[in-house]
Chains A and B, each alone.
Chain A
Amino acid sequence: MTDNRHSHDAQVLEARYAMRVIGALNAQARALPADVNERLRFARERALARAREARAAAAAVPTGVNSSGAAVLGSFLPWLQRAASVLPLLLLLAGLALIQQWQARENVLAAAEFDAQLLADALPPDAYSDPGFAEFLRAPPPQP
């Protein structure tokens, strides 16, 4: 209890002393050289001009959406930029899919041509499964 009161009293004394020091600092700050004051004023005005520009830019986008197509495009621009970045990848995948499709079609056409030749031959297809034909294939070719 006594410690708390002592601590509180110490804090009050510290604050009181600090405020007297701050009074001196305020007096010093009020007496800044004219050129420093002028540069601070310039910096402040520059900052305020930037704030006005930022507010005008922020206000321009929503009103433009209703009034002009260009602004609509502007609002979609980030989305378009993101889409443009993945476009090459999409094109590559589409190309690979097309190549695979083309190869499958070529295989189907080659098989169809082979089947057509087989069916158009004078020899019936069942003949190829005949045991005699298998024996003919295994036999050595006749000597001339």
Chain B
Amino acid sequence: MATDKELADFLKSVEKRAFKRAVYAVRNDDGALDIVQDAMIKLAEKYADRPAAELPLIFQRILSNATMDWFRREKVRNAVMSSLSAVDPAEPEGDFDLLELLQGTDGSPAGESAADAVSRAQILRVIDAEVSELPTRQREAFLLRYWEEFDVAETAAVMGCSEGSVKTHCSRAVHALAKSLRAKGITP
């Protein structure tokens, strides 16, 4: 059974990544915070008696389910379409501006690289945006596999798919990121 300290340490270690994963999914900070809070409370109420080693896998499953529940609630409220349409046009627009900027710097006589031209914070924001633009399943597989450091079997268990699918999703996600970031002159 996980102690209070183990549970607290686990939640503290995972909360930021969980928030980002939820933001990638719902594209809404408030919604993402609600999802993370629901997932934390459910983990604490129902699974606090489980060994600490089992908490990461359980939490990721709860987080995925909480995200699905959020979408269901939003659908009921007929707000999901409006929230997505409010966010979607803004992001490509921002990417487009940045892409133009990067292309402009690439074409400069000095041959200055994009990484030199934009600040580190901007590069991070672009990478963040590119990750959020990945197809949902690819992004989930990529984040679970590499960010949460789950192995292929654990990722497959959380996603409810085969291990082969996880490998395919991860590979496609990495290639898609590499292609889109290279197009913007960014090397992470």
Instruction: Enumerate chain A interface residues (CB-CB to B < 8 A).
Output: 10-11, 14-15, 17-32, 36-37, 39-40, 43-44, 46-48, 50-52, 54-55, 58
| Cβ-Cβ contact count across A and B, 8 Å cutoff | 107
Main secondary structure of the interface of A (DSSP, over half): helix
Contact call B48/A51, Cβ cutoff below 8 A: yes
In the assembled complex, the CB of B45 is this many whole angstroms from the nearest CB of chain A, namely 5
Q: Which residues of A contact B26 (CB under 8 A)?
A: none
Interface stretch of the complex, out of B16-24, B75-83, B155-163: B16-24
In the assembled complex, the CB of B35 is this many whole angstroms from the nearest CB of chain A, namely 10
Mask: chain B, 1-38; 1 = CB below 8 Å from A; 0 = not: 00010011001100111011000000001000100110
A-B contact pairs, 13 of them (CB 8 A): A10-B171, A21-B188, A25-B131, A25-B147, A28-B128, A31-B121, A39-B33, A43-B37, A44-B40, A46-B37, A48-B11, A48-B44, A54-B46
Determine the residue in chain B with the shortest Cβ distance to A10. Answer: B171
Determine the residue in chain B with the shortest Cβ distance to A15. Answer: B146
Contact call B49/A47, Cβ cutoff below 8 A: no
Question: A14 and B171 in contact (CB under 8 A), knowing A28-B124, A48-B7?
Answer: yes
